[in-house]
A and B are shown apart, each in its own frame.
Chain A
């Protein structure tokens, strides 16, 4: 019994561990080396899905902390990724509070809004308060592929949720 509870805890912590690992390790959440224009913001897909479906396993404090780590590793001003992740949490929580039953299509649309708000904040802060420059085409590709890949990850995360965590709503 105790063993199965421990395994459940590990499965519940899976998305959070993945988020921390993506932020701290060298693992690329974009496949630029393989396909030049393919870049993907996997972290916000991960955050949005789990905040929407099971906020109890994706605590705000952890996401904030993961954002800080991401900033250090990527060389961005501290707090900027945390802010963009928090915007995603805010939209996700708002949608969760307002909706009773969600579908992949409704989640996809609301994810688009969350990504837009989050990226507007991220790039406007980066543009105004740091010396880093970026091309709008890169941002465009990044947003397009992130949006495009959302349903695929939505299905994968759903399978993970149903198989290892259970369908209990928080």
Chain B
């Protein structure tokens, strides 16, 4: 009995302290080092923030370079297939153009009407300062089962601050949750940690909650509310982060939302520098 206990303790100690050969560090020493780094990072001691920010900038750049082959080959495939579909695409685009021309007149009318109504309500016209919107390239889009986020190539140097809303083609994509000097992390709408106050076509209010899948879910809808398929969802702007009226997606009958922008297909996004949430994110 005592022999087996000795065996256990020898094997246990050896596994923790063994060095030599290729092993220059023992597991125990590295565990202590990892714990120290972890607590320094979690409790955000003053000097760790710039160090982490510098590390992030460097690693994101290296990740971008290392991922180039994985981005290059699918893009080549897409380019080749689109080359052979040029004629079809041209005809489709002509039809779409006609459709949008007719819609433009409607939009012009509605914009004027909207401006006039906002003047009456004495509210701020939300799109008055478009010069404060910057374009950013997606550096890293690593798909994790637990965290849905992207890294963009603009940081505090470009004026990006935590909480700023991120859009693509005027559709909401997410918000900035981490800023470095040259890069930022954007939390996508489908991340589990994402909560956004939204409004439905008919004016009903709800919270759009990330589910970890591609389809976020509507929560806290009014009692007895029946979800109609293909209802448009907009940011309500009640949180002070997102501009009210920014389109997000359309509903499904099961309460999930099909986002207008596929979170897995982002290459360029825009950041609205006008808005910043002051609270805890």
Contacts and interface: CB of A to CB of B under 8 A. Distances in A.
B143 to A, nearest CB: 5
Nearest to B214: A36
Contacts of B193: 131-133
Given A69-B59, A94-B11, A97-B15, A135 B192 contact: yes
Interface stretch (B60-68, B93-101, B162-170, B217-225): B60-68
A73 B56 CA distance: 8
A100 B38 CA distance: 36
A26 B67 contact: yes
B55 interface: yes
Contact of B38 (A33, A55, A60, A125): A125
Nearest to B64: A26
Nearest to B37: A79
A30 B143 contact: yes
A94 B23 contact: no
Nearest to B12: A94
Nearest to B177: A75
B52 A74 contact: no
**How big is the B interface, by class?**
35 or more
Interface in A22-81: 24-28, 30, 32-33, 36, 39, 55-61, 64, 67-69, 72-80
B185 interface: yes
Contacts, number: 143
B142 A135 contact: no
Interface string A117-143: 000000001000111111100100110
A54 to B, nearest CB: 9
Contacts of B38: 77-80, 83, 125, 129
Given A75-B147, A75-B185, A26 B140 contact: yes
Given A72-B56, A73-B140, A82-B34, A98 B7 contact: yes
A157 interface: no
Nearest to B146: A134
Contacts of A27: 67, 70
A97 B14 contact: yes
A24 B149 CA distance: 15
Closest 7 pairs (CB-CB, A-B): A79-B38, A39-B145, A26-B67, A79-B37, A93-B15, A94-B15, A78-B41
Interface of A: 21, 24-28, 30, 32-33, 36, 39, 55-61, 64, 67-69, 72-80, 82-83, 86, 89-91, 93-94, 97-98, 125, 129-135, 138, 141-142, 170
Interface of B: 7, 10-12, 14-16, 18, 21-27, 30-31, 33-38, 40-42, 52, 55-56, 59-60, 62-63, 66-67, 70-71, 140-147, 149, 178, 185, 192-193, 212-213, 264
